[in-house]
Amino acid sequence: MKRTGANILLESLREEGVDTIFGYPGGSVLPIYDAIFDSDIRHILTRHEQGAVHAADGYARASGRPGVCLATSGPGATNLVTGIANAYMDSVPIIALTGQVVTSQLGKDSFQEADIVGITLPITKHSYLVKNAKDLTKVVKEAFHIATTGRPGPVLIDIPRDVSAALVEPEEESPLNLPGYNLPDVPSKNRLEEAVRVIMASKRPVIYAGGGVVNSGAFMELQQFAEKIIAPVTMTLMGLSGFPGRHPLALGMLGMHGSKYANYAVCSCDLLIAVGVRFDDRVTGKLERFVPEAKVIHIDIDPAEIGKNVKVDIPLVGDVKNSLAELIKRLKAKPSGAWQDQVQNWKKEYPLTFEENEEGKLKPQFVIREIYRAGQDRARIVTDVGQHQMWSAHYYDYTRPRSFISSGGLGTMGFGLPAAIGVQVACPDELVFNIAGDGSIQMNIQELATAVNNNLPIKIAILNNGYLGMVRQWQELFYNHRYSQTELINPDFTKIAEAYGAVGMRIERQKDVAPALLEALAVKKPVVMDFLVEREENVMPMVPPGEPLDKMLG
């Protein structure tokens, strides 16, 4: 029986378990939207295409399943680019569906034509331009396989309007055949045994864990591994929630804004076991001084990451969960000793603290701590990018996987609110907080309409200091307090919330934080809490750019 390309597309998405599409309609995707009208796949209408792709990203990070977004050709497709790049940098599986002009008009600068396949080649795992509706079943199957296997990432499918409108007989489903797409297995027996020897011989091991732990579902394996060798665990921003934050071996985040005790431990270790990480510049500081006396074991599913930034002594190419399981089987339990005592002493000597204001004015760190108390370990925290992101990393203890969701590699302001929408759609019965800055929230504030119209009870906490806070901090520390274009004249966020149909609250004093949070949690609709915090509070500790990790300010 003949069906339209659009119907074949939706049937193929259903076969892959898709229950939600985040999108925004336009001329080139009208056949797809017409098919959606009769489909049982839920469509969430965002107010901007960037909102759609970030929502798909948040959905994927929270659920572990690929998120799907849909946009029209030209500006609709190009509005997805930032979100696709964001997902690519953080290894998030999304399927970006874009409309395209009809095939006869390709390459002719037609109205709303853009070569979105060419534009996104560097920021996708793979891209498709579908020129025959019969190919859609095969393309969708391949796209989901590529997006979710190996190192996860975004895949783009560009569909001309005449292809989605065409009436064709669907092709019979055939086995996947992807020449050249080879997935690594577990590391070789020799490499594993070499790693075991080095681990057993080490006196001062540190585990450095990243987003690969979360992606592979290795939460329990990492904990068992750390406990077996009694190694402290420090995490990247993407690794937060991959190891329980209140565990005695947890050191929190390392790097430019990492804790002092995490950075001191890394600088003093004799073995660094890197698990699902990229060794990015915000972690390593001055490369020449990064772990100068340590051997390095690197476990990663992507062989291109091993040795890219830091010389590795023992590469273990394979899935993090499976690789850790193999190591655990081979390792003998190690006793605690002087190294573990030293790390605990650093934790006591250099705790993460802040001075509470005697007049009761709000400190941003206090707000984060109160959100943690109010959430009682059951919240999923979604942040934007900036100072509030770092305070959320420091002052909230993440005890379960996929409970911290943030833009890491690309550092995308405007990510938080639409991503929180995706998280809430993926986890409808859970408490979702979007912690934002007053600068970042305004990048995609229109998505409040999406949250309200879809009855998504997200709690939005704006840490409002009237600045682009992180940029202002750099101007204070390195540009002689010359605050060039970083002071903001903000609207009344409570009135904006109310205009969209959400609840708006303004909180100015410390004593009002806990009652406001309790009130917000009792409301079954989106709530915007505008916390007026100390204006020039800085994120500390901080490693100045170009310095080694042990040269921290604050």
| Residue 551 in domain | no
- Convert the pLDDT of each residue in 154-182 to its tens digit: 999 999 999 999 999 888 778 898 998 98
Specify whether 518 is located in the same domain as 405.
Answer: yes
Q: Prior bond to 25 cis, omega within 30?
A: no
Instruction: Tell me the C-alpha to C-alpha distance, in Å, between residue 468 and each of 77, 357, 381, 485.
Output: 29, 22, 21, 9
Residue 124 CA to residue 88 CA, distance in Å, equals 6
Backbone angles phi, psi at 90, to 5 degrees: -100, 10
Specify whether 163 is located in the same domain as 193.
Answer: no
- Say yes or no to pLDDT of 358 above 80: no
Could you tell me the two tokens for 203?
């006196």
Number of domains, the chain: 3
Specify whether 147 is located in the same domain as 196.
Answer: no
Percent of all residues in the chain with a pLDDT value above 90, rounded to a whole number: 93
Residue 510 is part of which domain span? Answer: 364-532
Residue 195 CA to residue 327 CA, distance in Å, equals 8
Could you tell me the two tokens for 193?
């045994």
Specify whether 394 is located in the same domain as 302.
Answer: no
| Residue 374 in domain | yes
Residue 242 CA to residue 204 CA, distance in Å, equals 22
Going 3 to 8 to 10 to 12, the CA torsion angle's sign is positive
Instruction: Please tell me the predicted confidence (pLDDT) of residue 78.
Output: 98
Please choose, from the candidates 403, 404, 410, 552, the residue with its C-alpha nearest in 3D space to the C-alpha of residue 477.
552
Instruction: Please tell me the predicted confidence (pLDDT) of residue 356.
Output: 80
Angle between helices 364-375 and 387-395 (to 10 degrees): 50
Please choose, from the candidates 291, 315, 290, the residue with its C-alpha nearest in 3D space to the C-alpha of residue 305.
315
Q: Using the 8-state DSSP alphabet, how is residue 444 labeled?
A: S
In angstroms, what is the C-alpha Rg of the chain? 24
Specify whether 141 is located in the same domain as 103.
Answer: yes
Specify whether 371 is located in the same domain as 340.
Answer: no
pLDDT band for 413, please (50, 70, 90 cuts).
very high
Residue 249 CA to residue 227 CA, distance in Å, equals 8
State the average pLDDT for the chain.
Answer: 96
Instruction: Please tell me the predicted confidence (pLDDT) of residue 376.
Output: 79
| Residue 539 in domain | no
Could you tell me the two tokens for 516?
């406001």
Percent of all residues in the chain with a pLDDT value above 70, rounded to a whole number: 100
8 Å CB contact between 486 and 554: no
pLDDT band for 502, please (50, 70, 90 cuts).
very high
Angle between helices 219-229 and 320-330 (to 10 degrees): 30
β-strand partners of 433: 381, 459
Task: Please give the model's pTM, rounded to 2 decimal places.
Answer: 0.97
| Residue 516 in domain | yes
Could you tell me the two tokens for 544?
């100045």
- Convert the pLDDT of each residue in 251-308 to its tens digit: 999 999 999 999 999 999 999 999 999 999 999 999 888 998 899 999 999 999 999 9
- Convert the pLDDT of each residue in 217-244 to its tens digit: 999 999 999 999 999 999 999 999 999 9
Specify whether 231 is located in the same domain as 301.
Answer: yes
- Say yes or no to pLDDT of 462 above 80: yes
Beta strands (DSSP E) in 34-181 are 42-45, 67-71, 94-100, 126-129, 155-160, 167-168
Burial status of residue 433 (CB atoms within 10 A of its CB: 0-12, 13-18, 19 or more):
buried
- Say yes or no to pLDDT of 361 above 90: no
- Convert the pLDDT of each residue in 508-550 to its tens digit: 999 999 999 999 999 999 999 999 999 999 999 999 998 999 9
Specify whether 415 is located in the same domain as 458.
Answer: yes
Single-letter amino acid, residue 136: L
Specify whether 83 is located in the same domain as 210.
Answer: no
- Say yes or no to pLDDT of 429 above 90: yes
Instruction: Please tell me the predicted confidence (pLDDT) of residue 288.
Output: 87
pLDDT band for 318, please (50, 70, 90 cuts).
very high
Specify whether 289 is located in the same domain as 153.
Answer: no
Instruction: Please tell me the predicted confidence (pLDDT) of residue 357.
Output: 74
Specify whether 386 is located in the same domain as 258.
Answer: no
Q: Using the 8-state DSSP alphabet, how is residue 43 labeled?
A: E
| Residue 380 in domain | yes
Number of CB atoms found within 10 A of residue 464's CB = 27
Backbone angles phi, psi at 431, to 5 degrees: -85, 125
Please choose, from the candidates 54, 299, 287, 12, the residue with its C-alpha nearest in 3D space to the C-alpha of residue 164.
12
Specify whether 215 is located in the same domain as 320.
Answer: yes
- Say yes or no to pLDDT of 72 above 90: yes
8 Å CB contact between 473 and 387: yes
| Residue 433 in domain | yes
Instruction: Please tell me the predicted confidence (pLDDT) of residue 184.
Output: 86
| Domain-terminating residue out of 316, 349, 382 | 349
Please choose, from the candidates 46, 99, 101, the residue with its C-alpha nearest in 3D space to the C-alpha of residue 72.
99
Residue 64 CA to residue 83 CA, distance in Å, equals 17
8 Å CB contact between 375 and 518: no
| Residue 173 in domain | no
Residue 146 CA to residue 231 CA, distance in Å, equals 34
| Domain-terminating residue out of 168, 203, 220 | 168
| Domain-terminating residue out of 349, 383, 403 | 349
Contacts of 201 (CB under 8 A, 6+ apart): none
Rounded mean pLDDT, 298-320: 96
| Residue 179 in domain | no
CATH number of 384's domain = 3.40.50.970
Could you tell me the two tokens for 190?
């020799």
pLDDT band for 554, please (50, 70, 90 cuts).
confident
Geometric angle at alpha carbon 4, from 7 and 179, rounded to 5°: 75
